């Protein structure tokens, strides 16, 4: 079996991506690694590495201050073999790239990790329970996520760990998603007001993922569930009105309503997400049964997140 990451041998770590989630993971993980034993490398888009934009410059500076070697590499445009060559020197690969590189990228990254013989692989699965969702959900990118799991389970050379987080807490309040619209004072219940969803903030995901990476005894070939909160859309509406002190217009978007929305806009990404998250099954799990609950690690719930959000505005 592969060595644990805390072994006395040199076991390099590669993190793919330094966006919202990747940076949250790096801020927690980098200070916990011994640079002599676990040298850290981060892959970002070549355009970001070469950019004169102040935000990109600040990002690269922070990554280097965290002790990471920063590499520019286009994950979307390269072949599986080229990715495998990139991955081969590393013991652990943590994918934080999301769906921005387009369909097929997560399968390509996973195939490359297996081809490279990576010892431990943490795929981009920071989302829902794709084992329950399976194939054929309204959100077609979920199919690929399930295929990644099938691919990992079909082999026994690379250890894998999946961290299931639910959706980002902030996504509930994304105007384009249109579940909670703080400006228009509207709340839509997806499927029904009793449909439930699990959410976690990127900051908590960064902390919990780091704890899972470094856990002893280590996690091997399993799905680890975490959660900042699990609640129904009805409970969400109550929380929003309680915290804001205002009355919101509530409208239940049933499955049939969401299906009509999707029929009229079949390529609309947000319409796909709304229809998918309305199904409830696979979209939630009890917070009491998570890794963070078992280890008494506090996380930010929706009420706490919203209070922080309003305090900053």
**Domains of the chain, with CATH numbers?**
13-166+202-225 (3.40.50.720), 169-197+229-281+300-312 (3.90.25)
Tell me what pLDDT residue 4 has.
64
Q: Using the 8-state DSSP alphabet, how is residue 179 labeled?
A: S
Token pair in block for residue 222: 């399993």
Please give the distance of CA 169 from its chain centroid, rounded to a whole number. Answer: 11
Token pair in block for residue 236: 């969400």
CA atoms of 237 and 158, how far apart (whole Å): 43
Tell me what pLDDT residue 102 has.
74
Beta bridge partners of residue 198, listed in sequence order: 230
With 0.75 as the threshold, say if the pTM is over it.
yes
Residue 84 or 3, more confident = 84
CA atoms of 63 and 71, how far apart (whole Å): 11
Q: Using the 8-state DSSP alphabet, how is residue 189 labeled?
A: E
Instruction: Kindly indicate the confidence band of residue 138, based on its pLDDT and cuts at 50, 70 and 90.
Output: confident
CA atoms of 48 and 4, how far apart (whole Å): 32
pLDDT at residue 165 tops 70: yes
Tell me what pLDDT residue 2 has.
58
User: CA-CA distances (angstroms) from residue 130 to 182, 186, 228, 241?
Assistant: 30, 29, 19, 32
Q: Is 66:39 a contact under the CB 8 Å cutoff?
A: no
pLDDT at residue 209 tops 70: yes
Q: Is 264 helix (H, G, I), strand (E, B) or coil?
A: helix
The pLDDT tens digits of the residues spanning 58-93 come to: 999 999 999 999 999 998 889 999 999 999 999 999
- Matching residue, tokens 């590189």: 101
């Amino acid at each position: 079996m592969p060595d644990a990451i805390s072994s006395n041998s040199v076991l390099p770590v590669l993190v793919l991506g330094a966006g919202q989630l990747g940076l949250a993971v790096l801020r927690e993980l980098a200070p916990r690694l011994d640079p002599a034993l676990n040298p850290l490398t981060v892959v970002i888009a070549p355009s970001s590495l070469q950019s004169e934009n102040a935000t990109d410059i600040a990002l690269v500076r922070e990554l280097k201050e965290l002790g990471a070697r920063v590499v520019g590499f286009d994950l979307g445009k390269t072949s599986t073999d080229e990715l495998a060559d990139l991955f081969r020197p590393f013991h652990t690969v943590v994918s934080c790239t999301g769906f921005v590189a387009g369909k097929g990228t997560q399968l390509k990254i996973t195939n490359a990790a297996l081809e490279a013989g990576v010892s431990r692989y943490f795929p981009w699965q920071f989302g829902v329970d794709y084992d329950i969702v399976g194939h054929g959900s309204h959100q077609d990118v979920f199919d690929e996520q399930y295929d990644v799991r099938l691919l990992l389970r079909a082999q026994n050379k690379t250890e894998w760990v999946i961290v299931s987080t639910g959706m980002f807490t902030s996504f509930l309040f994304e105007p384009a998603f249109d579940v909670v619209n703080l400006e228009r004072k509207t709340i839509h219940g997806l499927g029904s007001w009793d449909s439930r969803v699990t959410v976690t903030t990127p900051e908590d995901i960064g902390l919990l993922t780091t704890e899972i990476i470094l856990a002893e005894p280590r996690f091997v070939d399993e799905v680890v569930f975490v959660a900042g909160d699990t609640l129904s859309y009805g409970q969400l509406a109550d929380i929003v009105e309680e915290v804001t002190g205002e009355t919101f217009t509530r409208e239940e978007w049933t499955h049939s309503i969401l299906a009509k929305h999707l029929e009229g806009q079949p390529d609309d990404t947000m319409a796909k997400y709304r229809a998918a998250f309305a199904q409830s099954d696979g979209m939630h799990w009890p917070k009491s049964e998570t890794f963070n609950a078992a280890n008494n690690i506090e996380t930010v719930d929706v009420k706490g997140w919203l209070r922080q959000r309003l305090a900053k505005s």
